[in-house]
Amino acid sequence: MDSKRALSVAVEAAMAAGNLMYRNWRTQKRVNSEAMHDIKLELDERCQEKICKILRSVFPKVAVLGEEGTVGDPLADERWVIDPIDGTVNFAYQIPHACVSIALQQRQGNEYVNCVGVVRDPFCDELWTAVRGKAARLNGKKIRVSQRARLSEAVVSVGFAKYDENLKKMLPQLEKLAPRVRKIRIMGSAALDLVYVACGRMDAYLESGVRLWDIAAGAVILESAGGEFWHRALPGEHTYHIVANNGLLRPELERLNQGESK
Ligand code: LIP
């Protein structure tokens, strides 16, 4: 697939879904389902429908693997991976920290490679983009990860995915990290955590139990900005443990967590 054209249509779809999010920022939202640490909104579905319609108007044969469902063969050689609203609980509570995440993946052997990534934050009017092998950009300007090489000067984000076992896994890591870093942040959007590391606002992001659609776009943006997207598959479909960082901090993070991220 022509990556320039793929990027262009992914940006169009992300902007359209972002506009729908923004228009509904302060509205009362219809909840489709809720759990102790999660909420599914009717708007998640509407945003995914909008994104799919735009993507498939240009690439009708490319499958879509989305948080709200799959279209086509998710094991095809090329697939879109989308999270129509990443940070759904924030958005449901009218906290303006959520985004649209769209990635294009291409199969290489048994693996899928993230080739194109778009993350759109409509609240800050920010658009992060990357095509593998080229520079990552924020609103069209090239971005790079930070050069902070010590945890003591690092801002580190920790994510708590929606199941209790992830809390149990991450809380001990949080307890070890907090006294050793400049600041901890728990922001609620994996995609924004990844692109904040990509543009140097943060220096690392850790989460266990995060899903593919939360991270695929942010991963290629982070790597294209010089960062490291360390990840390990966990039991459960499309589920990962990740240690994303500016390329300088993982050894210290691993020493701290005694190989948690192995
Ligand atoms: C969210 C992730 C976040 C994780 C949440 C949730 P969603 O995605 O971005 O990192 O901690 O549990 O999975 O559900 O808002 O698309």
> Phi, psi (5° rounding) for residue 110?
-90, 0
Angle at 146 between CA 260 and CA 137, to 5 degrees: 110
Place of tokens 């490291």: 228
* Bridge-based pairing state of the strands 137-138 and 126-131: antiparallel
Atom of ligand 1 minimally distant from the CA of 188: 3
pLDDT single digits (tens) 190-201: 999 999 999 999
Q: What pLDDT band is residue 255 in, cutting at 50, 70 and 90?
A: confident
Amino acid at position 50, single letter? K
Helix (H, G, I), strand (E, B) or coil at 140: coil
- Exposure pattern of 95-126 as b/e (b: 16+ CB <10 Å)? eeebbbbbbbbbeeeeebebbbbbbbbbbeeb
Cα 159 to averaged position of ligand 1 atoms, centre (Å): 8
Q: In the predicted model, is pLDDT for residue 44 greater than 60?
A: yes
With a 6 Å cutoff on the Cβ, whether 208 touches ligand 1 is no
With a 6 Å cutoff on the Cβ, whether 190 touches ligand 1 is yes
With a 6 Å cutoff on the Cβ, whether 88 touches ligand 1 is yes
With a 6 Å cutoff on the Cβ, whether 157 touches ligand 1 is no
Q: How far is CA 112 from CA 103, 139, 186, 212, in A?
A: 11, 27, 29, 11
Instruction: Tell me the whole-structure pTM to 2 decimals.
Output: 0.96
Q: Whose CA is nearest to atom 16 of ligand 1?
A: 86
Window from 16-20, 60-64, 251-255 with minimum mean pLDDT: 251-255
pLDDT single digits (tens) 201-253: 999 999 999 999 999 999 999 999 999 999 999 998 999 999 999 999 999 99
